Amino acid sequence: MAVQFRIEPGDEVFVDDSEYVVGHVRRANPREVIVFVEDRGDFAVPRDLIRTALNGRVMLFCRKLPLPMRAAIGHLHGETYEEDDA
């Protein structure tokens, strides 16, 4: 059984080990977390894509996110996230 992290609306969202906030949690349920990415809208993130969540900080596995969400995140910091090479 997967670990169920405590995630609350307003928690900051990061990818991998980045120091940049890429979004905020809108809401969470046992299956997914809805993340708001500024200027790009809401994205549903399955809970199995959450690397960790602690003290109001949610860390996602970037390479596993859907391409539209990676593109939205990259837009924030002038980066491009490509499809996984694996």
What span, in angstroms and rounded, lies between the C-alpha atoms of 47 and 85? 23
Question: Tens digits of per-residue pLDDT, 21-49?
Answer: 999 999 999 999 999 999 899 999 999 99
What are the φ and ψ backbone dihedral angles of 42, each rounded to 5 degrees?
-95, 145
19 lies in some domain: yes
| Number of domain units in the chain | 1
Reported confidence tier of residue 86, pLDDT bands at 50, 70, 90: very low
pLDDT at 81: 53
pTM above 0.85, yes or no: no
pLDDT at 77: 58
Query: Could you tell me the CA-to-CA distances from 27 to 31, 58, 63 in Å, in that order?
Result: 11, 12, 22
Of the candidates 61, 62, 83, the residue with the CA atom closest to the CA atom of residue 73: 62
85 lies in some domain: no
What span, in angstroms and rounded, lies between the C-alpha atoms of 86 and 71? 18
Mean pLDDT of 62-75: 89
Structural domain containing residue 66: 12-77
pLDDT at 1: 46
